Amino acid sequence: MISLHPQVLSPNDDTSPSEVLRLLEKYPPRLPRYAYGTAGFRYDATVMDAVLVRVAVFCAWWYPQLQAGNGTAPETIGIMVTASHNDESYNGVKLVAPNGEILADPIVQGQLTDWVNSDSTESNQAGSKHPIRVWIEQQSTNTKSPPTCIIHIGHDTRSHSPSLTELAVKTIRALGGQVIHHGVATTPLLHHAVFHQNPQRVPSMIPIRPDAVGYYQLLSWSYLALLQTAAAQDSNSNTTKRLVVDCACGVGYPSVKLFQSTLQGVISPTCPAAPTEFYCINGPTHGPLNENCGSEHVQKSMAAPQWYRDESNSDALPWEYCAAVDGDADRIVFFHKNSHEFFLLDGDKITVLICEFLQAQVAALKQACQEQQQQGGNINNSMGQLTLGAVQTAYANGASTKYLKNILGSDNVLIAKTGVQHVHHAAKSFDIGVYFEANGHGTVVFGPQFYSYIAQAEALFMAAESPRPLSLQRLRVLPALINQAVGDAVSDLLLVDAILHIKGWDLKAWNQLYSDMPSRMSKLKVTDRNVVKTNENDTICLAPENVQEELNAAMKEWNGRCFVRASGTEDVVRVYAEAETRDAADQLSAKAEYIVHTLCGGVGDPPKFPASRM
């Protein structure tokens, strides 16, 4: 169902600004105001048509401004139509910048929001036209060669995604643009395609593979290469494990299936089979998207997903080693369930696992390089050091932050604002930056010093004709296995599976690294969630007045931590609380909910306080 190669749709024979003006008129904004949320626009699908037409116009208008214009290849951008973990009734749109990352520039986001909300069919009330409308009118009607813009588009498996995507495609082609249409795609596949389509952005250690075939080959090769380092270490048994992957009834299902078939094609006598069998459940036609399944359900409800194919038999599934991805497969959590226990390994646990692994590899490589240099009588300090850091959000469980600070040092653990755009950016301040939100969004990013260090280490061992140490083999392969543009549930699945295999761990051993503090996440309806403003990393509420003072008093009373913020994907205010005991966390959460209800315009009856949830 995922297209192996995208379809290239050339511009319309004649560029047609009048067709674009007609589309703008036909699909006027259907809300008083569309807000750019945590990851783009996300609303009920019935009001998204206007957004798709306008986002497409914006991309065509923005594209020429992104080109260096000095003879370098044009840089593409992308539009992903998805509402991720939201239910089927929603849809949304995320923009991919030329570096393959999610659009993070607040100025561009502001311009886009302004345009989406402008009365773009006519002169506005003040009688002036929006500059982008003026730009459309100035476009000539001649055929454009080369295309005015090149834009990648993909969509998830929602029933309304193809028609919304089609609106954007039509608009771009009418403006003389070329569309690289990926059809059904995961969000990270689209990011990967844009990143690899702009090859000057891709470090030379990563082979360029701009389409689905190439991407899954890259994942297969690098996954097997990483697993082979475990075989070399000989720390594991040869038994095959089954990893159940709940795909949220979405695009993760064909994505993992495509990976599996690609992997089969890559395995050869010299390259042994993987020790893990991936068993996908909950595909797009099996049940309702994200309903009682997928990573959002598993993480928020702390429960195994419903198995839609054969509910009666769901106990028959071995739920020992399981993962759940979300509706567009850009996040993942792991879980284990048996007759007497359920435990979740969320983004925090993933961060800790990966950081421990990387720290050990970096230390081993440093030592191996020093020994090699000593043997050669050539101590060369020019390789420098590698900084390894972790980025979390305010939702990170306090126990994970404490653990990370212990192993990495306090300065190497940052708390950034909620949303991939913020955590990804912060992670780039390290040579190796690991970021995961508790909800499972995350990846590892490698900076220029990392690539230079690895290249120097390779040169060192090659010159000495010495075998490359395992640490070097492992670190060398990671940038190809780990999506450098955005977190990918499939890539993260493979990375975690390979690390567990190398360590010889099951989920229990991993889970025992630390114990989460009791916490609670809740959400409240308020009249206007936009009245709630927070500081640069969501830890302090700046408005309405007195909210933070009241929260401070509650935190003191229950000896815990809590914060509140407006959701960027749902019409609610979210509350997070954690404390030393379950009761204290519940009491603190109830108090914080009460504060939000009374000071932020809560709708309906105030939540009960003290809590009666025991």
User: Known catalytic residues?
Assistant: 84
In the complex, least distance from residue 328 CB atom to ligand 16G, rounded to whole angstroms: 9
296 binds Mg ion (CB under 5 A): no
Answer for which of 50, 80, 353, 420 binds ligand 16G (CB under 6 A) is: 420
Query: What's the closest the beta carbon of residue 319 comes to ligand 16G, in angstroms?
Result: 26
* C-alpha span between 388 and 402 (Å, rounded): 16
Which of 243, 566 has the CB closer to ligand 16G? Answer: 566
Q: Which of 15, 38, 84, 483 binds Mg ion (CB under 5 A)?
A: 84
Residue 567 lies near ligand 16G (rule: CB under 6 A)? yes
Kindly state whether residue 418 participates in binding ligand 16G, applying the rule CB under 6 A: yes
Nearest alpha-carbon partner for 84 in 39, 124, 127: 39
Q: Is 346 in the site for Mg ion (CB under 5 A)?
A: no
Smallest gap from residue 362 Cβ to ligand 16G (A): 27
Cα angle 76, 79, 84 (rounded to 5 degrees) comes to 140
Binding flag, residue 328, Mg ion (CB under 5 A): yes
Which of left, alpha, beta for 157 (phi over 0: left; psi -120 to 50: alpha)? alpha
Q: List the single partner that 439 binds among ligand 16G, Mg ion, none, CB under 5 to 8 Å by kind.
A: ligand 16G
Task: Pick one of 568, 583, 601, 609: the residue that binds ligand 16G (CB under 6 A).
Answer: 568
What are 559's two structure tokens? 């000896």
- Rounded alpha-carbon distances, angstroms, from residue 9 to 163, 179, 213, 241, 490: 16, 5, 19, 43, 28
Rule CB under 6 A: which of 80-139 touch ligand 16G? 84, 102
Q: 422 touches which of ligand 16G, Mg ion, none (CB within 5 to 8 A by kind)?
A: none
Q: Return the sign of the alpha-carbon dihedral for residues 280, 285, 287, 293.
A: positive
Q: Are 396 and 438 in contact (CB under 8 A)?
A: yes
224/323 with CB nearer Mg ion? 323
Least CB distance to ligand 16G at residue 418 (A): 5
Residue 538's alpha-carbon distances to 37, 181, 300, 371, 416, in angstroms, are 14, 37, 19, 46, 8
Residue 325 Cβ vs Mg ion, minimum distance, rounded to whole Å: 8
Interacting partner of 420 out of ligand 16G, Mg ion, none (Cβ under 5 to 8 A depending on kind) = ligand 16G
Q: How far is the CB of 94 from Mg ion (least distance, A)?
A: 9
State the CB neighbour count (10 A cutoff) for residue 448: 9
Separation CA 23–CA 19 (nearest Å): 6
Does residue 39 belong to the site contacting ligand 16G (CB under 6 A)?
yes
Query: Is 49 among the residues that bind Mg ion (CB under 5 A)?
Result: no
Give SS3 for 146. coil
Residue 574 as a binder of ligand 16G (CB under 6 A): the answer is: yes
Instruction: Calculate the CA 16 to chain-centre distance.
Output: 36
With binding defined as CB under 6 A, does residue 191 bind ligand 16G? no
User: 473 or 567: whose CB is closer to ligand 16G?
Assistant: 567
User: Exposure pattern of 592-604 as b/e (b: 16+ CB <10 Å)?
Assistant: bbbbbbebbbbee
Residues in the chain: 614
CA distances from 582 to 238, 336, 517 (A): 41, 21, 8
Report the residue from 211, 330, 586, 593 that binds Mg ion according to the rule CB under 5 A. 330
Which of 305/518 has CB closer to Mg ion? Answer: 305
Least Cβ distance, residue 410 to ligand 16G (angstroms)? 24
Backbone angles phi, psi at 412, to 5 degrees: -100, 15
> Interface with ligand 16G includes 437 (CB under 6 A)?
yes
The listed partner (ligand 16G, Mg ion, none) that binds 326, CB under 5 to 8 Å by sort, is: Mg ion
DSSP 3-state assignment of 79? strand
Where does this chain touch Mg ion (CB under 5 A) — which range of 325-333, 343-351, 388-396, 542-550?
325-333
Please state, in angstroms and as integers, the Cα–Cα distance from residue 494 to each residue in 115, 147, 256, 336, 517, following that order.
Answer: 40, 38, 10, 17, 28
Q: Please select the residue that binds Mg ion; options are 326, 488, 492, 538, rule is CB under 5 A.
A: 326
Residues 6+ apart with CB under 8 A from 489: 186, 188, 252, 255, 295, 323, 325, 326, 329, 330, 331, 332, 440
Positions in the binding site for Mg ion (CB under 5 A): 84, 326, 328, 330
Positions in the binding site for ligand 16G (CB under 6 A): 38-39, 84, 102, 418-421, 437, 439, 441, 567-570, 574
